[in-house]
Homo-oligomer: A and B are copies of this chain.
Amino acid sequence: MPAEPAARPTIYDVAQRAGVSKSLVSLVLRDAPHVSEARRRAVHEAIEELGYRPSRAASALASQRTRSVGVLIDDFRNPWFVELLAGLRSVLDPAGYTSSVADLTLEAVSGRNPVDGFLAMHVDGLVVAGEPQPGLLRGLAVPTVVAGVRDVGPGLAADVVAGDDERGGELATRHLLDLGHARIAHLTGSGGPAARRRRGYERTMRAAGLEPLVTGAGGTAEDDGYAAALAALDAAPGLTAFVAGNDVMAVGALAALREHGLSVPHDVSVVGYDDSPLAAYRYLALTSVAGHSHEVGAESATTLLARLGDPEAPRRRQLLEPSLVVRGSTAPP
């Protein structure tokens, strides 16, 4: 029974070439402990020579685990996710895990449930970056970590890694206060992180003996920032500063200010949130609160791996301290 020489090599070919059994090859691949050094090397050599690549499908089928994790991104349009993803992969990749990414907004358009998609792929775990629609994750059986949002409703047994949004709101506000501003408005969006950022703002304002002014309620996109800024300008014409719910909203606010003939930071200061690539563009140069998404990503991955290893461990919840990146959009009043 001569073998076909052209086909993709299998574990069987490797075994034969190395003069060992199939199972030994499997052990070597999984880095098993009790294998003699000589045979281990022989196997590795055979793998090299044959250009062997294990079949994920076969291994998934046999082991009932895919070594893959699904990553749910809120919206690809908000570049916030880029660093998060990089952090995630910086620990998932070396651990031999594959990650597949889906965009909630995109999926919503096509009417599919992205979680279903991941479940069909049999991902071993899930990372939800951003705020899941209520119900989307209810009763999920697969290990999940929520990254970037600290309030996950009850009924979702997930680990959490997030920035301290309330602290971030405080940082932004205090920066403005320290600069000498007093008439500071906040542009908020919907969702948990937005609510916390707002709370940080409000708390800091009150502590300074100032009355908070919050506008916005819809989404967290550029439009929403624009509309909220307009509303704030309308409600309090003497404003000298904005704390925006995120960078994209801040860009919307910039447009509203320009329409009112107000210049930034000369007349009005603006602080964004997320320290996304947007904030770093020279033309925008937004002072922004950095949530350290890279670290959030890395920590999320570590947490997920830990849970995969021990499903019974107590839930973890980690908060990362944000910091302020000062650029050109803020100045004394």
Residues of A within 8 A of B (CB): 53-58, 60-61, 66, 76-77, 79, 81-82, 85-86, 89-90, 93, 98, 100-101, 103, 106, 109-110, 112, 117, 119-122, 222, 226, 251-252, 254-255, 258, 277, 280-284
Question: Which 7 A-B residue pairs are closest in the complex by CB-CB distance?
Answer: A255-B282, A57-B60, A255-B283, A57-B61, A254-B283, A100-B100, A76-B82
What are 9 A-B residue pairs whose CB atoms fall within 8 Å in the complex?
A55-B61, A55-B122, A56-B57, A57-B57, A57-B61, A77-B79, A77-B277, A252-B282, A255-B281
* Residues of B with C-beta under 8 A to A60: 57
Complex-state Cα separation, A122 to B53, whole angstroms = 10
A226, B283: Cα distance in complex, Å: 9
| Residue among A66, A76, A251, A254 facing the most chain B CB atoms (10 A cut-off) | A76
How far in angstroms is the closest Cβ of chain B from A321?
25
Number of copies: 2
> Chain A's interface: helix, strand, loop or mixed, by majority?
helix
Residues on B with beta carbons closer than 8 Å to the beta carbon of A226: 282
Decide if B120 touches A53 in the complex (CB within 8 Å): yes
Q: How many whole Å from A30's CB to the nearest CB in chain B?
A: 15
B-side contacts of A58, CB under 8 Å:
57, 61
Q: Which residues of B contact A121 (CB under 8 A)?
A: 56, 98
With A57-B60, A122-B55 in contact, do A89 and B77 touch (Cβ < 8 Å)? no
Known pairs A82-B77, A252-B282; A90 contacts B119 (CB<8 A): no
* C-alpha gap A280/B223 in the complex (Å): 10
> Chain B residues near A86 (CB, 8 Å)?
106, 109
